[in-house]
Amino acid sequence: MFQATGLTKWFGQVIAVNDLTFESRAGIVGLLGPNGAGKSTLIKLLCGQLRPSKGEVKVDGQPPWGNRRLLSSLGYCPEHDRFYEDLTPLHFVSLLTRLHGYPADQADEMARKALELVELSARLESPIRTLSHGMRQKLKVAQALSHDPGWLVLDEPLSGMDPVSRARMIRLFRDKAGEGTAVLVSSHVLHELEAMTEDILLINRGRLLAQGQVGAIRELIDAHPHRIALRADRLRDLGRELLKHDDVVRVEVSGERIIVETRSPDACYTRIGELAAGGDFQVQSMLSLDDNLEAVFRYLVK
Amino acid sequence: MSHDDARIYDQSYRPFAGDLASPRSRFLIIAANELRQAWKSKWFKRIAWFSFGPLIVFAVLVVVAARFAALGGQMEDVWMPFWGIQMFFAMLMVFFIGRGAVGEDLRTGALTVYFSRPVSFMQYLAGKWLAVAVGVLGVTLVPGVVLAIFRWLAEPDTGLLDFLLWLGSLLLISGLAALCMGWVILAVSALSGRARAAGIVWVVLFFVSFGIGEGLAEATGIYELNALGFGQASEQLARGLLGGGGTLGEVFWFSLGQLGWALLGLVVVLFKLRRWMRV
């Protein structure tokens, strides 16, 4: 459904998406990553709003850039509010539905149905400026759903919603996926995505860190040794001391520092801290060499 | 009554099975939405109705002038003052329709939503421009044509050919005004971002360009420099083409002035929206 090969996007000197390769299956795919990871850029690339600097992206086998036929069956919910404040939800959704070519009365009917799905029927005629943040989120989802899209791309759709609305939205997305709509949902909150799908793409700093079932990724991360660079006196003695513990799989002396590989970074950091505090070693600096992984690790285990 | 006579009808939502509108006509939806938004303003409605006031006054003047002419007198041609007033109304209409047209979309990021639909960049621009053009034509071409018909009926000496020439001239002058004012306001809107700021800049630009054009023309004695003011240029075109008081050269320069403003506006809009041009 959604496919990327070597997908890269630069903004001047900044690389937002870096050599991403993935292929998603039908159903719901969660796009997970901390703020600034490149999720929104990837989504814009998938929605044809940005052209890849390198590599290619495809939705249902077709590149989305400049592909208006593909856009006809794409529902996009942007991250930020993109609204005309004086319009009513009904007018707003109806207007956007009409841009797909539907006659005015049909677009109105489709807009009403979409607004009903997101439980905004009571505010059809209220100006958008009077809607709460949660309602505006629902409105964004409604405009993405109104034209019965075959592909649904939702950028942080649950942000700002109350727990009851979140649960209803999650059920709605699952229903849509059950009806055959391919859904890609981004979030920086893992448990939100876990409630929707087991299938996630994990990105950080524009790179794909992991893809697959959440449980399997957790296991992989647990098994993946984490590297810590240390500057201290008596490097070899420190290395020997650390190697006494089962989680430390390797110690390498490299110039004036040692690199420790551990499967339990939190325990290892604590241990190094204790050794330094106890006066056994003078630790001058401690640096994680796997920042990306550490961020994700903390993310997944918190 | 048997069960065979009873029916329970499905009232639930049914997917649309009819024909979709042509993708080429979707700019009309954008234009209609812009006009609908402007129409919500009570001041816009008032100005739209008031813009037909001068038509009544000038229609009376045409009758008076026809009677006066029959008595051997001569009155100055009505077209230039009429057009001057209508250009003022056009400026106000443009203020209401166009001030937030592109800028608000850029500021709020609405372009992201627009271009996630099967709408091309050119359709978007055409829709935005058309809304402004309809406003301009509504207060220039429409009352102009009505006045031309009235004058043709009131003046026994005016033949069908004169009438048709008036119509052609009205089309050209109002078309150029719509082209020029449409692109200039879209450029101002794109540069200003906020509708209120764009509105103020638009009004200032209208009068300042008018003043500069007229001032330079007077200071240098080069009459064609009036073309620098886009309102003034249109007025002078009306004098030249409708009033019969201008040379072909003047008509050329005043048309060029308007086209120059339109081109400048278009270039600015394209520059501000360059990121979306290939969408």
Does B2 reside within a domain?
Answer: no
3-state secondary structure chain A: CEEEEEEEEEECCEEEEEEEEEECCCCEEEEECCCCCCHHHHHHHHCCCCCCCEEEEEECCECCCCCHHHHCCEEEECCCCCCCCCCCHHHHHHHHHHCCCCCHHHHHHHHHHHHHHCCCHHHCCCCHHHCCHHHHHHHHHHHHHCCCCCEEEEECCCCCCCHHHHHHHHHHHHHHHHCCCEEEEEECCHHHHHCCCCEEEEEECCEEEEEEEHHHHHHHHHHCCEEEEEEECCHHHHHHHHHCCCCEEEEEEECCEEEEEECCHHHHHHHHHHHHHCCCCCEEEEEECCHHHHHHHHHHHC
**Whether the predicted pLDDT of B15 surpasses 90:** no
Distance CA A250, CA A243 (A): 7
What pLDDT is attached to residue A35? 79
**Whether the predicted pLDDT of A268 surpasses 60:** yes
What pLDDT is attached to residue A301? 45
Q: What percent of chain B has pLDDT over 70?
A: 89
Instruction: Determine how many CB atoms are found less than 10 A away from the CB of residue A295.
Output: 17
Separation of CA B209 from chain center: 18
**Whether the predicted pLDDT of B73 surpasses 70:** no
Separation of CA A209 from chain center: 11
- What average pLDDT does this structure show over A186-207? 84
Distance CA A204, CA A34 (A): 7
B48 pLDDT tier (thresholds 50, 70, 90): very high
Least confident of A85-89, A160-164, A167-171, B18-22: B18-22
Distance CA A31, CA A193 (A): 8
Q: What amino acid occupies position A168?
A: R
Strands A28-32, A54-59: pairing kind: unpaired
Out of B104, B109, B117, the one facing A96 most closely (by C-beta) is B117
Does B174 reside within a domain?
Answer: yes
**Whether the predicted pLDDT of A138 surpasses 90:** yes
Range from A203-217, A278-292, B180-194 that averages highest in pLDDT: B180-194
With b for 16 or more beta-carbon neighbours within 10 A and e for fewer, the A271-292 pattern comes to: bbeebbeeeebebeebeeebeb
Out of B33, B40, B112, the one facing A49 most closely (by C-beta) is B112
pLDDT mean across residues, chain B: 87
Which chain B residues contact residue A69 at CB under 8 A? 118
Which chain A residues contact residue B20 at CB under 8 A? 100-102
Q: How far is A299 from chain B (nearest CA, A)?
A: 30
Q: What amino acid occupies position B279?
A: V
Q: How far is A151 from chain B (nearest CA, A)?
A: 12
Residue B37 contacts A, CB cutoff 8 Å: yes
pLDDT in tens, B232-249: 888 888 888 887 667 778
A187 pLDDT tier (thresholds 50, 70, 90): confident
Q: What percent of chain A has pLDDT over 70?
A: 93
What pLDDT is attached to residue A211? 86
pLDDT in tens, B107-116: 888 888 888 8
Residue A11 contacts B, CB cutoff 8 Å: no
Residue A233 contacts B, CB cutoff 8 Å: no
Cβ distance A101 to B118 less than 8 Å, yes or no, reads yes
Strands A199-204, A283-288: pairing kind: unpaired
Q: Domain tally for chain B?
A: 1
Residue B119 contacts A, CB cutoff 8 Å: yes
Distance CA B191, CA B194 (A): 9
Does B20 reside within a domain?
Answer: no
- Tell me if A187 sits within 8 A of A202, measured CB to CB: no
Does B58 reside within a domain?
Answer: yes
Tokens linked to A55? 């590599």
Residue B128 contacts A, CB cutoff 8 Å: no
pLDDT in tens, A63-99: 998 888 888 889 999 987 767 888 899 999 999 999 9
Q: Which DSSP state fits B110?
A: H
What pLDDT is attached to residue A41? 93
Cβ distance A71 to B22 less than 8 Å, yes or no, reads no
Does B29 reside within a domain?
Answer: yes
Residue B33 belongs to what domain range? 25-276
Residue A119 contacts B, CB cutoff 8 Å: no
Does B11 reside within a domain?
Answer: no
Residue A129 contacts B, CB cutoff 8 Å: no
What pLDDT is attached to residue B134? 97
- Tell me if A24 sits within 8 A of A3, measured CB to CB: yes
Does B6 reside within a domain?
Answer: no
The number of C-beta contacts closer than 8 angstroms across A and B is 81
pLDDT in tens, B197-207: 999 999 999 99
Which chain A residues contact residue B119 at CB under 8 A? 68, 99
**Better pLDDT: A214 or A48:** A48
The predicted model scores a pTM of: 0.81
Least CA distance to B26: which residue of chain A?
A: A99
A195 pLDDT tier (thresholds 50, 70, 90): confident
Does B138 reside within a domain?
Answer: yes
Which chain A residues contact residue B22 at CB under 8 A? 101
Tokens linked to A259? 């690199």
Distance CA B274, CA B112 (A): 14
B18 pLDDT tier (thresholds 50, 70, 90): low
Least CA distance to B118: which residue of chain A?
A: A68
B4 pLDDT tier (thresholds 50, 70, 90): low
What pLDDT is attached to residue B1? 53
What pLDDT is attached to residue A302? 47
